[in-house]
Structure 1
Amino acid sequence: MVEMVTENKMNYVVTSILRAEFGGRTKALIQRTKNLNEHFGLEFTLVTTNYNANYNNIYDHYYEKGYANEKIGFENVYDYFSGRNYKNNEIVEHPIEIPGYNVRPNEKNHTYKYYKNGQFVRLRTYDQTTGKLKFDDIIVPGSSQRRIRYEYNDFGLCHRKIMYKPNTLNKIEEIFYDDQGKIYLSFSHTGEDENSIWRGHLLHNNTIIALKDEKDFFRYAFDHILQAGGVTFCDARILDQSLLNCSIATKKYFILHNSHNVTGTIAKTYQYLIEHADKADKIIVLTREQLSDLLDLGIDPARMTVIPHSMDDAETVDFASRKPEKKFVFIGRIVPQKQVHHIVRAFSQVAEKYPDYWMEIYGDGKETGDVSQLIDELGLGENVKMMGRTDNIQSVFRNAIASVISSHYEGFGLVIMESLHYGCPVISYDFKYGPKDLLTDGENGYIIEKDNIDLLADTIIKMIENPITEVKLSNDYYLSSTIEKWGRLLEQQ
């Protein structure tokens, strides 16, 4: 029984970062954690390893939104060693005026320049919403070069000091402070790039611990935060080495959210896990295709299993209400991996034959500006529309002829599953991984040669002229199926 494995044991999810707004990996791990808690009564602590001196705001947001309940807690490796509990109600104020300095404000971006003897020597940045001090920068006199930065949290406490290599913004030293202003951690950097750590020192239990690098710090943190007897899920490849070398007797499950082989060779981020797979209790992939590829690398089949993402069975979809407009849709991050510019270029060909059809692009990301510029350059303002983010994907998919996926790679292609769930067929490049598991050519969409923009345009036109209707998602991708697989896996341990 699952209860026998995890009775009175704490279980963990280790990940690199939790953001207030999220998709992809974070969305999947949050939903998985909630499902395992609700169906099996498992208690969890989500452990993050990035530095965020105001993580309490994220935790509060997750509870308010229902992403977590009272059986799901949070911990951060830096907060653990600093003893920070975010219960300090006394806020330290930092007035703009500083005795001995002349100040020149730039109220537009809430920064203030400080001068002494006519020289610019200090820069303060205040939060534009709260008005609280965020950064206090010490400037090299007679220049604009930052020499030291002091960072402050929402309580007005200095939590980190950063020193920089001359004439760069590359760190050479980081010093971390607890809420009493005492140093508990320091990192020395090479100064060769922005974040290269080559050694660290941690004060823990009145002992100074020497750390080889950041991964060693995470390993030491796991050795003290995790408890024996439960299960620990690792969702971030940057943490594989640290968890595999952790000495705590916890079952170690590694969830692969992306392709391990994009360029024809094993991605560097996946190498350690693949080379040390014998130390993992289970490696969980999202597709049968990726399972096959990993088995070809010689990983023991007993350590592998497939458990895909899933949709909630309880969510009913009224397929009769599906009345597509003359439009296609893309939903996702607008980043290089998604190759959204392929969709824009393909639709320029579609618009020549069917000028009354259009494409709606939902999402944002680092290439949003570039994609908007391409739309303007091609004169597609009426045919390709940038819609921003959406929280109502059901409405988006219900009113579209098909969704279009032009990714270079994915771990699963979550948006394919969501599109099919809402009755919307999918046109997708043949990338690794997801399309081959989720799509049947001609039945619920089309899988086409990757990076073939002309073929993408032709397939969109084919869908206009011969639309696919009555699309449904396979029962394998609903919660009732995947939760059964999780139950069987947990019973094995």
Structure 2
Amino acid sequence: MKPTMFFLMNSIDLARGGLTRASLKQASTFAGMGYKTYMLTFNFNPRYPIIRNKLVKMNKIHKDVIIRNMYEELGGHSNPLALHSPSKKASLTELSRGHALDKREGHNAYRVYENGMYTKYISLNDDDSLNFIDYFNESRYRTKRETYDLWGNLKKIAYMDYSLNAPRQLIYYNNKGKAFLAQWNNPNNDKVQRILLFDDNLSITDTYVNDDTSHKVKWLKYIIDNFGGEKSVVVSDTRSTDDVLAKFSHPDAAKIWRLHSSHLKKPYTFDAEIATKVKLGFENMDKFDAAVFLTEEQKNDVIQRVGEKSNFKVIPHYHEYSAKPFQQTIKSIMSTTTRNEKLGVIVSRLSTLKQINHVVEAFGMVVDKIPDAKLEIWGTGDQESNLKDLINKMKLKENIFLKGYTHYPDQIYKQGLFSILTSKSEGFALSVLESMYNKTPVISYKTKYGPTDMIVDKENGFLIEKNNIEELANKMIYMFEHPEDAKKMGIKAKKYIDTYFNKDIYIQKWLEVVDEVMVKKFNG
């Protein structure tokens, strides 16, 4: 009998990076094999009805994967909320009570002035439904934020600390306007100080002090009791859910911890300190029926620190492109795309960890030799403005282009002659896998972990020492000057991925791990 699969994610959204894409693919794989599969989310987000709908339509998740959310269910919804009716368009006249409105440039938002005083900030969603309202006092301090669902129901109020502009108290409401959860925060560090749960009579049912985990564990136990069947497997995919998995115990559920990122702090060598966000998982490894790594190198580095453990497993990612019928236009574009021999591409989160500024600096050297060379950078993040400033400073506006987030990385890779990865650290480097799958060779730093597992230097791509910007430039110049060599590398890259990182291997390894933890949990 197949167990029920539960994948723990703090949050899911549409524009996310490699971890979310990998987790959606993981859940979809099990659903496609006939497993009853759930993704459990623990964040507050009134947009989950849209997120669920679009993930399926965009073919990012299997239609049979059920995404449940803790806040929806604590608020009285026994089933995941769906787009049962169109969202409600907000009335600015009603929300402003007829007072003066000032539209914020570049945003679907308005400031409200009452007899000259700034009192409200109204934020709308793209479909003009109400997102939130901020309230201000006469000193222009924000006093509270009201957050609404797609149909205009008040779902949360955050009461703010005036001086720190951070929440002190948050109250969550059901559709009847009754509170079901109240939370006190320390506004200095955002740590949870107290959580109270209420029943329909507004009586307190549970109180948690300095504890942001126990109510999540309680909800997880409820889910397993009611939807898990006779046997379940629970997988923690994000470090924010590790504490939930560690404290969760159920006679009918096995536990798997899956590490997507590097476990290392700077300088990211095998003997560096353990990253703060990973420590909790490391401290609880013996409580998990399996600890899954993405690469053999990372597993071996961990063994050097904590010793060999029988529950250590390795399951690398895989990648394939499949289009639903309505996506045939995109599939057609991809199949007919001509590779641009003057174009390098990056698909990445724009963060300091990714060091994309290294590529920009190297590209200045490239353009000195190849003036018509182009680089497209696809992604969003907190370094976007800094990268824009650097591009302008280096006078590369005609060569380097910040293109924003893409839902279709395969299409981007197929257009480029090569792609680049310059991260300080990775858990697997999913972008390398996706690029090579699309016959686009990668120029990559020798980053822990992932690139050295997939790239055979000078055969299907290039591996260079970290932070060697001059060599990075040299390799890009070589690719531009020898496009036929780059294309041959791309063919070999695809063959390598098809041989060692295919779906059959992925499924086989996952089934082996699931079978093993089932035996360990129920027959041990």
Deviations 1:361-405 (A, max 9, x none): 223322222222212211223332333344554454344332111
Moved more, 376-385 or 14-23: 376-385
Q: Matches of residues 424-439 of structure 1 in structure 2 within 5 Å?
A: 424-439=440-455
Q: Does 1:354 align with 2:370?
A: yes
Shift of 1:327: 2.7
**Matched AA of 1:397:** Y
Deviations 1:122-162 (A, max 9, x none): 4151516444443344432x221122232222222111121
Moved more, 431-440 or 459-468: 459-468
Question: 1:237 maps to which residue?
Answer: 239
CA distance in 1, matches of 2:449, 2:151: 45
Deviations 1:24-56 (A, max 9, x none): 1111111111111212x1111111111112311
Question: 2:5 maps to which residue?
Answer: 11
Question: 1:179 maps to which residue?
Answer: 175
TM-score w.r.t. the length of structure 1 is 0.89
Of 217, 220, 223, which residue of structure 1 is paired with 2:221? 223
Q: Matches of residues 314-393 of structure 1 in structure 2 within 5 Å?
A: 325-393=341-409
Deviations 1:435-459 (A, max 9, x none): 1111111111121111111121122
Question: 1:480 maps to which residue?
Answer: 504
CA distance in 2, matches of 1:56, 1:294: 40
Question: 2:23 maps to which residue?
Answer: 29
Count of matched residue pairs: 482
Moved more, 244-253 or 67-76: 67-76
Of 27, 31, 40, which residue of structure 2 is paired with 1:47? 40
Q: Does 1:278 align with 2:302?
A: no
Shift of 1:309: 0.6
Question: 2:521 maps to which residue?
Answer: none
Shift of 1:416: 1.0
Moved more, 398-407 or 440-449: 398-407
Moved more, 142-151 or 406-415: 142-151
**C-alpha spacing 1:421/1:94, structure 2 compared with 1 (3 Å):** closer
Q: Does 1:62 align with 2:55?
A: yes
CA distance in 1, matches of 2:102, 2:337: 54
Of 243, 247, 250, which residue of structure 2 is paired with 1:248? 250
**C-alpha spacing 1:265/1:204, structure 2 compared with 1 (3 Å):** farther
Q: Does 1:135 align with 2:132?
A: yes
Question: 1:491 maps to which residue?
Answer: 515
**C-alpha spacing 1:104/1:356, structure 2 compared with 1 (3 Å):** closer
SS, match of residue 387 in structure 1: strand
Of 204, 207, 210, which residue of structure 2 is paired with 1:210? 207
Question: 1:73 maps to which residue?
Answer: 66
Q: Does 1:170 align with 2:166?
A: yes
CA distance in 1, matches of 2:501, 2:96: 66
CA distance in 2, matches of 1:322, 1:5: 45
Q: Is the 8 A contact 2:121 2:133 kept in 1?
A: yes
**Matched AA of 1:214:** D
Shift of 1:323: 5.3
Q: Is the 8 A contact 2:101 2:110 kept in 1?
A: yes
Moved more, 104-113 or 288-297: 104-113
Q: Does 1:201 align with 2:196?
A: yes
**C-alpha spacing 1:127/1:242, structure 2 compared with 1 (3 Å):** same
Shift of 1:287: 0.8
CA RMSD of aligned residues (A): 3.0
**C-alpha spacing 1:476/1:148, structure 2 compared with 1 (3 Å):** same
Q: Is the 8 A contact 1:274 1:299 kept in 2?
A: no
CA distance in 1, matches of 2:162, 2:456: 58
CA distance in 1, matches of 2:361, 2:128: 45
Of 232, 252, 264, which residue of structure 2 is paired with 1:261? 264
**C-alpha spacing 1:121/1:345, structure 2 compared with 1 (3 Å):** closer
**Matched AA of 1:251:** A
Deviations 1:287-321 (A, max 9, x none): 11111111112154311111111023989999999
CA distance in 2, matches of 1:447, 1:465: 18
Question: 2:522 maps to which residue?
Answer: none
Shift of 1:204: 5.3
**C-alpha spacing 1:299/1:199, structure 2 compared with 1 (3 Å):** farther
Question: 1:290 maps to which residue?
Answer: 298
Q: Is the 8 A contact 1:335 1:365 kept in 2?
A: yes
Gap runs ≥5 in structure 1: none
Q: Is the 8 A contact 2:31 2:62 kept in 1?
A: no
Moved more, 46-55 or 362-371: 362-371
Q: Is the 8 A contact 1:278 1:300 kept in 2?
A: no
Moved more, 143-152 or 120-129: 120-129
Shift of 1:95: 5.4
Q: Is the 8 A contact 2:144 2:159 kept in 1?
A: yes
CA distance in 2, matches of 1:314, 1:184: 42
Deviations 1:407-460 (A, max 9, x none): 111111111112222222211011111111111111111211111111211222
**C-alpha spacing 1:274/1:186, structure 2 compared with 1 (3 Å):** same
CA distance in 2, matches of 1:437, 1:207: 53
Shift of 1:343: 0.5
Q: Is the 8 A contact 1:295 1:301 kept in 2?
A: yes
CA distance in 1, matches of 2:118, 2:64: 49
CA distance in 1, matches of 2:237, 2:110: 38
SS, match of residue 382 in structure 1: coil
Q: Does 1:113 align with 2:112?
A: yes
CA distance in 1, matches of 2:418, 2:168: 51
Moved more, 289-298 or 100-109: 100-109
Q: Is the 8 A contact 2:111 2:118 kept in 1?
A: no
Q: Is the 8 A contact 2:15 2:405 kept in 1?
A: no
Gap runs ≥5 in structure 2: 267-271, 324-330, 519-524
